Every structure is written in structure tokens, then in C-alpha cells.
Amino acid sequence: MATKMDPAQLPLVGMPEPLYLRTRPVTFGLQPGQEVTYLGRVDGGPKFGARGIVVETKGRKVVVDLGRGGIWHIPYYFLAVLIADAA
């Protein structure tokens, strides 16, 4: 009897396990000091998946310090916050 295969990558010697982040999109309500993940794909913008700290919130944008990636004014719809695992 055939079993359903797991679609995950085959394990390879010396390769670290992939890191899967559980996130939820942000609508509003971020606070300075909160960690966010950038989910946008804009030419010339931050790298997809970059993580940073909220510096300031504005009307429809947030000022985020992405460390070595710089400080960016990012619309809320390009950001997500990590979901804490309850396990």
C-alpha cells in the first residue's frame, strides 16, 4: 500500500534544517520595539524576509530598523509579526 510522501526537502549531510517562521500579516497596532518581518518584493527595497525592529509608527507606514539593511519606511501590508508557538 502506498503512503503519502512528505513534500519536505530530502535531508543532506552538512545542510542545516530549514527554519520555518509562522507569521501573521499586520494591519495596524504595532508598537515601537516590536520585531517584524518584511514580506514585500520591491526592486531596490529591503530583502524579502528581512527582520527588524519598529522604530516609529506613522499613518499608513512604519519606520523599521533592519540592522545592516538600513532604516526603511514600510507600509503595514508588507509587514508580518511572528506568532509564538503555543507548544
pLDDT per position in the chain (87 positions), as tens? 555 655 566 777 887 666 555 667 676 778 899 999 998 899 999 999 899 999 999 888 999 999 999 999 999 889 988 765 433
- What's this model's pTM, rounded to 2 decimal places? 0.67
Distance of CA 53 to the CA centre of its chain: 11
- Whose cell is 528581512? That residue is 50
- Whose cell is 526603511? That residue is 72
Q: Which of 68-72's residues contact partners 24+ apart within 8 Å by CB, and which partners?
A: 70/46, 72/38, 72/45, 72/46
